[in-house]
């Protein structure tokens, strides 16, 4: 059992804003392209996630946004590649929904499709799902954030999306600190991951994950590695694709692709891994790996 670390919210809020007033202010901010200043207020969402349509952009500064709903923000892209954009600065997100049905699990931030999400100096928690969950070609940037008390994974990157995380702390996570799969790209720089229950880092199904100057400690499961790069066996690759042309075609088009047969990439430079219950690093199957200048205790 991993040790729990006490975490503090980034802001103290003394005023309550009604959900209807908040939704009105969100609409005004989108229409005017003027950032919404929520500093000094707390809003609880019960009617559903904040969503963007078309090429809408929303920027919020400060405040606490919480709620027992599937996701606090759900940003969907479209086939026309019209990117929606969400920017949060100095905000606290408390995702409190706990689902009995795993198929209904959501996130504080759920982004999918051709959208852009920028998070700066935010405090994010999720009692029932992911903190940040990206899918299907979205682009997410996380800078100087505190991510903590997460039921599943702190930052998950699936199906050809791109996530950059810098100078961020991930603490008390129920499954993985960061997880990349299905030809996604994750770049993790100068981050700290503490007390992840299963793994701190997981990369598989053709994803590319880079860790530089990170500190990872206290991963709790003695039966799983702290950092796990899992690729296909040679037999799996031959049976699934048969030749390199099919593999190349599958990596450029997700529909019908067999991600399990794709070779992931792990780059790990100048990182420190310590005090983990299980194996610190496992490279399994066919993996493109560059492991250099790390300290593994």
Task: Supply the DSSP string of 110-144, one letter for each residue.
Answer: EEESSEEEEEES-EEEESSSEEEEEESS-EEEEES
Report the pLDDT averaged over residues 221-246: 70
Number of domains, the chain = 1
Assess contact for 134 and 103: CB atoms under 8 A: no
pLDDT digit string (tens) for 1-54? 444 545 444 445 469 999 999 999 999 999 999 999 999 999 999 999 999 988
pLDDT digit string (tens) for 170-188? 999 999 999 999 999 999 9
Residue 105's pLDDT is what? 87
The domain of 288 spans: 35-296
If pLDDT is split at 50, 70 and 90, which confidence band does 252 have? very low
Residue 243's pLDDT is what? 38
Q: CA 277, CA 32: separation in Å to the nearest integer?
A: 52
Residue 99's pLDDT is what? 65
On whether residue 17 sits in a domain, the answer given is: no
Residue 231's pLDDT is what? 95
Residue 258's pLDDT is what? 66
On whether residue 246 sits in a domain, the answer given is: yes
Report the pLDDT averaged over residues 157-164: 94
Residue 53's pLDDT is what? 84
If pLDDT is split at 50, 70 and 90, which confidence band does 219 have? very high
On whether residue 19 sits in a domain, the answer given is: no
What is the overall mean pLDDT for the chain? 87
Residue 125's pLDDT is what? 97
**Over 90: is that where the pLDDT of 104 sits?**
no
In the chain, the percentage of residues whose pLDDT exceeds 90 is 75
Residue 137's pLDDT is what? 87
On whether residue 21 sits in a domain, the answer given is: no
**Over 70: is that where the pLDDT of 132 sits?**
yes
**Over 80: is that where the pLDDT of 103 sits?**
no
On whether residue 67 sits in a domain, the answer given is: yes
Report the pLDDT averaged over residues 115-122: 96
Between residues 127 and 243, which one has the greater pLDDT?
127
User: 156, 155, 150: which is closest to 172 by C-alpha?
Assistant: 150
CATH number at residue 260: 2.160.20.10
Q: CA 54, CA 285: separation in Å to the nearest integer?
A: 42
On whether residue 13 sits in a domain, the answer given is: no
On whether residue 14 sits in a domain, the answer given is: no
Between residues 288 and 160, which one has the greater pLDDT?
288
Residue 233's pLDDT is what? 81
Widest CA span of the chain, in angstroms? 62
3-class secondary-structure state, position 272: strand
Q: How far is CA 171 from CA 147, 188, 193, in A?
A: 6, 15, 6
Report the pLDDT averaged over residues 260-282: 94
């Amino acid at each position: 059992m991993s040790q729990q670390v006490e975490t503090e919210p980034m802001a103290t809020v003394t005023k309550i804003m009604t959900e209807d007033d908040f939704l009105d202010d969100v609409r005004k901010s989108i229409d005017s392209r003027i950032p919404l200043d929520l500093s000094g207020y707390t809003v609880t969402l019960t009617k559903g996630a904040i969503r963007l349509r078309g090429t809408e952009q929303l920027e919020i500064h400060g405040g606490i946004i919480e709620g027992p709903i599937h996701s606090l923000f759900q940003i969907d892209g479209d086939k026309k590649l019209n990117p929606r954009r969400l920017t949060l600065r100095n905000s606290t997100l408390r995702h409190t929904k706990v689902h009995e049905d795993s198929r209904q699990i959501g996130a504080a931030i759920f982004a999918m499709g051709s959208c852009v999400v920028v998070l700066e100096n935010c405090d994010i928690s999720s009692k029932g799902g992911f903190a940040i969950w990206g899918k299907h070609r979205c682009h997410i940037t996380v800078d100087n954030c505190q991510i903590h008390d997460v039921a599943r994974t702190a930052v998950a990157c699936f199906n050809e999306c791109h996530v950059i995380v810098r100078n961020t702390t991930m603490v008390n996570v129920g499954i993985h600190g960061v997880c990349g799969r299905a030809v996604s790209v994750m770049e993790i720089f100068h981050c700290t991951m503490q007390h992840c229950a299963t793994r701190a880092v997981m990369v598989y199904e053709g994803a590319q994950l880079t860790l530089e100057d990170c500190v990872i400690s206290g991963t709790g499961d003695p039966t799983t590695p702290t950092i796990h790069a899992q690729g296909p066996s040679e037999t799996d690759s031959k049976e699934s694709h048969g030749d390199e042309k099919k593999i190349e075609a599958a990596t450029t088009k997700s529909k019908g692709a067999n991600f399990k047969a794709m070779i992931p990439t792990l780059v790990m430079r100048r990182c420190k891994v310590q005090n983990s219950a299980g194996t610190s690093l496992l490279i399994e199957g066919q993996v493109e790996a560059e492991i250099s200048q790390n300290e593994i205790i």
